[in-house]
């Protein structure tokens, strides 16, 4: 009986430690995050996001981002412009309430990391690559999107004055789950 107990205990310890390792990769988004977009006109922020983040710098194959931004939380600093952005001509927040990013691959780069994945905005899916860093339990990254690629607004009339390329700056503090 004693001979049996030792391998069982060993297997139990190994199994539990494996779970512990997986758990240490899971992060929850904490307050203080910032999703800002900048262009000549307009600039602003999205104030609400949520999602699942699994990230281990030493095990990028097992890392994954699945995050979502609430379109209705857009704030450009101007109420009329917010309503216009949420309206049918641009994000159409009633029909497409979220902007999502689901990663498919993570890579290490000289300056940090890079994630490839699918950005879904306004019902349009595009593969994009986002460079990012991870330091002090905070993810930070910047990339650009062309709103016309996602059918957000058009290039006619007054919409032509809205910048096509927007720089997105993301800073997301996290805590271990």
By the criterion CB under 8 A, which residues form the site for other proteins?
36, 43-45, 47, 75-83
Q: Rounded distance, CA 133 to CA 115, Å?
A: 10
CB 97 within 8 A of CB 68: no
Tell me the closest approach of the beta carbon of residue 45 to other proteins, in angstroms.
5
Shortest CB 142 distance to other proteins, Å: 17
Q: How many Å apart are CA 61 and CA 12, to the nearest integer?
A: 25
Q: Considering only CA atoms, which of 63, 75, 68, 69 is closest in space to residue 116?
A: 63
Of the two residues 76 and 120, which places its CB atom closer to other proteins in the complex?
76
Identify whether the C-beta of residue 25 lies closer than 8 Å to the C-beta of residue 174.
Answer: no
Q: Alpha-carbon distance 118 to 135, whole Å?
A: 24
> Which one, 25 or 172, has the nearer CB to other proteins?
172
| Tokens representing residue 8 in the block | 């069982």
In 3-state terms, what secondary structure has residue 49?
Answer: strand
Kindly tell me which of 15 and 83 has the beta carbon lying closer to other proteins.
83
Least Å from the CB of residue 170 to other proteins: 15
Task: State the nearest-atom distance from the C-beta of 115 to other proteins, in Å.
Answer: 26
Q: Which is nearer to other proteins, 89 or 102 (CB)?
A: 89
């Amino acid at each position: 009986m004693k001979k049996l107990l030792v391998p069982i205990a060993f297997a139990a310890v190994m199994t539990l430690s494996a779970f512990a390792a997986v758990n240490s990769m899971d992060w929850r988004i904490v307050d203080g995050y910032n999703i800002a977009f900048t262009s000549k006109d307009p600039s602003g922020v999205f104030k609400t996001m949520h999602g699942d983040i699994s990230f281990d710098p030493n095990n990028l194959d097992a890392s994954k981002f699945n995050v979502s931004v609430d379109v209705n939380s857009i704030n450009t600093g101007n109420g009329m412009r917010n309503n216009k952005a949420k309206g049918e001509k641009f994000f159409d927040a009633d029909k497409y309430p979220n902007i999502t990013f689901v990663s498919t691959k993570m890579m290490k780069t000289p300056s940090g990391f890079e994630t490839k994945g699918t950005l879904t905005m306004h019902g349009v899916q595009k593969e994009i690559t986002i460079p990012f860093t991870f330091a002090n339990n905070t993810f930070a990254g910047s990339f650009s999107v062309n709103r016309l690629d996602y059918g957000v607004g058009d290039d006619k009339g007054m919409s032509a004055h809205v910048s096509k390329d927007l720089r997105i700056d993301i800073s997301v503090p996290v805590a271990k789950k």
